[in-house]
Structures are given as structure tokens and as C-alpha cells.
């Protein structure tokens, strides 16, 4: 029995086959596009997670900014990316930049006026995402820089912090093909993370500033009390002592009872004067204000029965930094004298990278508690200045108290 032949004409069969092939091709293209979109979304989510992790870890805002412009540049297939902060005088400052070739050609740290064509100017005026498809013939400092760098087009989105336009993130390309329509939405995903990082940084800065004000106010109060004691009660006692000494000299021939009374009064006045002097020193020693940290530490060392080797720079620091450093050394040496049973101790201070470093060590029995009242108070003071305090005191291994204090200009508020 012979096989059945197709009843379709050849032309019809070819048309059906062609349609089927076209359908298969379109399906394959859709599947390919779907896979590319899936990979794009996965890459975008991975980038957002990386930046969110940085923000959650309270890393420095500078590190977050650099990570964001890098991720934006890569995700948008850009050649350059930049983050800029708006200033109060209608200018914008570049605070982070990325380039595909790694040359860092964008001018970070430079302030530009918001004149002429630019993403920053459009965002500043509209508070909306913006794009510039060509800088050819455009005016203004940012447009001039774009032409110098060979930028053909840019896309950017606003960064909104606390309801105010804080800055802008922009991606740029040096190629003729402009960015696709969804580029703005991809950049916008990162602006909320940047806003969170900025808000966190501003909150930390405000907290540190508040703590510094509290520490400074406490130190100012100490200085006022010390000055009042010196200028008031101490001076009055000095006068009493002088008068009593004079009475001793002029009444040497009197009966023994008056002599005894004057002697007792004199002894009491001298003791009170000594106690007031020590109290004033405990509040804030005059030698610290007059001679700085080196003089203050030298005075502390001179009172020690244990040999102490001190190496402290003679330069002056801001009053709150000097006071904090002094109290750290004083507390450490007090522990040496009272608890350590050490035969020697070392005090070192030095400055590097904008920080005053302190290191106090002894060769005693160790075991010091880092949660004691004295060290807890010091830790609060150091935290208030944005510094770090470390206590190492293994049993039998001596004690080390180390601190790093950010420096401010001498005499700064």
C-alpha cells in the first residue's frame, strides 16, 4: 500500500513552513530577551544589596558614594558616572566619580555654577530626573567639561534627603547611542540608599557635635570652678594664713594658750588651702591650660612613685582634646598607682593622620576592668569626640590603655 501524499500545494507548504520558522525565531528572541531581562534585574538587585549593606554597616558616606557611582556606571553601561551635592549658593560640588577606563577624569571636589546645559541644573530646577542627549554647542561650565571629556549624553536623578533636594547622580556616555528609556528608573533605585546614607551621616555628625558641646561645656564649667576657687576661696585663705603668721610673730610673748590657738588656726588654714588646691587641680589643672598636654602629663608623672617614661609632643591642641587626653593619662596612671603593682609605666602620645594617639602601658598584674566607673566615663568622653578607646589588661600581662582622638584646630569652637 503506497503512502499518502500531501494534498497541500508546494507554495502553501512553503508558506506554512516559513511562518512556523518565523514563529520559532520570534519565540527564541522573546526567550533570549526574557533571559537578558532576568539577568539585568538580578545584576541590579545584587548591586542594590551591596550598597544597602554598606549603608547598614554605617560605613563612611564617602565609601558609600564611591560604591554607588561605580554600581550606577556599570549597570547603566555608562562610560562615566558622578555624584554631586548642591550648595547653598546655587552651585554644585562633585563628591564622587567613576570612569570605565579607571582614569578618574571627572573633577571630584570641584564646584560648578549651575549655569547652562547640565543634568545638575535641570534636576535643581525641576526636582525631577533629567537627561541631556547632546552637549554640542551648549554653554555653561558643566557643559564645557562634558565636551572636553567627549561626553555625548547624560542621564541623572535627584537625591532627596529630608524633603530637600540634596544632590544628583548622573551617568554619561561618550558613545553616539543614547541611554535607553529605562535608565532614569535604574538610577533612581540608588538615590534612596544614598539619601539614607546621607541622613545617617548627618545624624551621626549632629550627635557628635552635640556630645562635643556637652564635653566642652563641662570642661568650661571645670575651668570656671577652678578659677573661682583660685581667685576666691584660695586667695582668702592665703590672706588668713599671712595674717596668722603675722600674729604669731607679733604675739610671741603672749601666754601659751593664745599661741596654741593661733597655731591651730594656722594649721587648719594651711590644710584647707592645700585641699582646695588639690580640688582645683582635680577639676582641671591650671598647668594644662597654661602649658598644654605635655606640661599636664609632666605634672602627673612627677607625682608618681613608680618610674614613668613619658614621650608627649609639646604642640598645643584644642582645649577639649587636651582635656580629654589629660584625663585619659590621669586615669591610667591612677590605676597604675592604686591597683597595678607595676614597677614601671610608659606614656606616649603622637599625631598622625589628623588623630592624637595616646598609649599608656604598665608591667603590672593586669586584670583591670574596662567597665569601671573611671574608664566608662573616659569612654563616653572619647566617644563624644568621635574617637576610640581601647583597654587591654590580661591577667599577669600588664595593662594598656590606648586612645585615638580626632584633632580640631587649636582654639576652634
pLDDT in tens, 197-220: 666 666 666 666 666 666 666 666
Q: What are φ and ψ of residue 8, in 5° steps?
A: -75, 140
Q: What are φ and ψ of residue 147, in 5° steps?
A: -65, -40
Helix or strand or coil: residue 386?
coil
User: What is the pLDDT confidence band of residue 1, given thresholds at 50, 70 and 90?
Assistant: very low
Question: How many helices (DSSP H) and strands (DSSP E) are in the chain?
Answer: 10, 11
pLDDT at 353 > cutoff 80:
yes
**Residue predicted with more confidence, 187 or 237:** 187
- Whole-number pLDDT of residue 406: 92
Distance CA 143, CA 137 (A): 9
Contact between residue 223 and residue 284 where contact means Cβ atoms under 8 Å apart = yes
pLDDT at 108 > cutoff 70:
yes
User: What is the pLDDT confidence band of residue 56, given thresholds at 50, 70 and 90?
Assistant: low
Q: Is 52-205 in CATH node 3.40.50.620?
A: no
**Residue predicted with more confidence, 71 or 40:** 71
Q: What is the pLDDT of residues 297-345, one digit of tens each?
A: 998 898 888 999 999 999 999 888 998 899 899 889 988 888 889 999 9
pTM of the model: 0.45
- Whole-number pLDDT of residue 245: 73
Distance CA 157, CA 154 (A): 11
pLDDT at 411 > cutoff 80:
no
Residue with cell 563628591: 95
- Can you tell me the mean pLDDT for 45-64? 65
Domain(s) labelled CATH 3.30.450.40 in the chain stretch across 52-205
Domain(s) labelled CATH 3.30.565.10 in the chain stretch across 288-413
Q: What are φ and ψ of residue 361, in 5° steps?
A: -130, 150
**Residue predicted with more confidence, 67 or 293:** 293
> Taking the CA atoms of the chain, what radius of gyration do you get in angstroms?
36
- Can you tell me the mean pLDDT for 4-26? 61
Distance CA 272, CA 64 (A): 59
Which residues on adjacent β-strands are paired with residue 130? 156
Distance CA 341, CA 4 (A): 111
Distance CA 306, CA 358 (A): 19
User: What is the pLDDT confidence band of residue 288, given thresholds at 50, 70 and 90?
Assistant: confident
CATH class as words, domain 288-413: alpha beta
User: What is the pLDDT confidence band of residue 256, given thresholds at 50, 70 and 90?
Assistant: low
Amino acid at each position: 500500500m503506497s503512502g499518502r501524499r500531501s494534498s497541500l500545494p508546494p507554495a502553501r507548504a512553503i508558506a506554512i513552513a516559513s511562518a512556523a520558522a518565523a514563529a520559532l525565531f520570534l519565540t527564541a528572541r522573546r526567550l533570549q530577551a526574557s533571559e537578558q531581562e532576568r539577568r539585568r534585574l538580578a545584576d541590579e538587585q545584587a548591586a542594590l544589596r551591596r550598597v544597602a549593606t554598606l549603608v547598614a554597616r554605617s560605613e563612611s558616606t564617602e565609601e558609600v558614594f564611591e560604591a554607588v557611582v561605580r554600581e550606577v556606571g556599570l549597570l547603566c553601561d555608562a562610560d562615566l558616572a558622578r555624584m554631586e551635592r548642591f550648595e547653598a549658593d546655587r552651585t554644585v560640588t562633585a563628591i564622587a566619580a567613576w570612569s570605565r577606563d579607571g582614569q578618574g577624569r571627572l573633577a571630584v571636589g570641584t564646584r560648578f555654577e549651575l549655569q547652562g546645559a547640565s543634568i545638575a541644573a535641570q534636576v535643581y530646577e525641576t526636582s525631577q530626573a533629567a537627561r541631556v542627549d547632546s552637549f554640542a554647542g551648549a554653554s555653561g561650565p558643566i557643559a564645557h567639561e562634558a565636551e572636553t571629556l567627549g561626553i555625548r549624553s547624560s542621564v541623572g536623578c535627584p537625591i532627596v534627603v529630608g524633603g530637600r533636594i540634596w544632590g544628583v547622580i548622573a551617568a554619561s556616555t561618550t558613545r553616539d547611542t543614547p541611554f535607553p528609556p529605562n535608565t532614569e528608573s535604574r538610577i533612581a533605585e540608588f538615590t534612596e540608599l544614598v539619601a539614607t546614607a546621607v541622613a545617617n551621616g548627618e545624624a551621626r555628625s549632629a550627635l557628635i557635635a552635640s556630645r562635643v558641646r556637652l564635653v566642652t561645656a563641662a570642661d568650661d564649667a571645670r575651668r570656671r570652678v577652678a578659677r573661682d576657687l583660685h581667685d576666691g576661696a584660695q586667695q582668702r585663705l592665703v590672706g588668713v594664713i599671712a595674717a596668722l603668721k603675722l600674729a604669731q610673730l607679733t604675739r610671741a610673748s603672749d601666754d601659751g594658750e593664745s599661741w596654741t590657738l593661733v597655731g591651730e588656726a594656722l594649721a587648719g588654714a594651711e590644710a584647707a588651702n592645700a585641699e582646695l588646691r588639690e580640688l582645683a587641680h582635680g577639676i582641671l589643672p591650671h598647668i594644662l591650660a597654661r602649658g598644654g598636654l605635655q606640661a599636664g602629663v609632666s605634672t602627673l608623672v612627677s607625682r608618681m612613685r613608680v618610674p614613668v617614661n613619658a614621650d608627649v609632643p609639646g604642640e598645643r591642641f584644642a582645649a577639649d582634646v587636651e582635656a580629654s587626653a589629660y584625663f585619659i593619662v590621669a586615669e591610667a596612671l591612677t590605676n597604675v598607682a592604686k591597683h597595678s603593682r607595676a614597677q614601671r609605666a610608659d606614656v606616649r602620645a603622637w599625631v598622625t593622620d589628623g588623630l592624637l594617639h595616646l598609649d599608656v602601658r604598665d608591667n603590672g598584674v593586669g586584670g583591670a576592668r574596662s567597665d569601671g566607673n573611671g574608664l566608662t566615663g573616659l569612654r563616653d568622653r572619647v566617644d563624644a569626640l568621635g574617637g576610640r578607646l581601647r583597654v587591654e589588661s590580661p591577667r599577669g600581662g600588664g595593662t594598656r590603655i590606648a586612645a585615638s582622638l580626632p584633632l580640631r584646630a587649636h582654639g576652634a569652637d
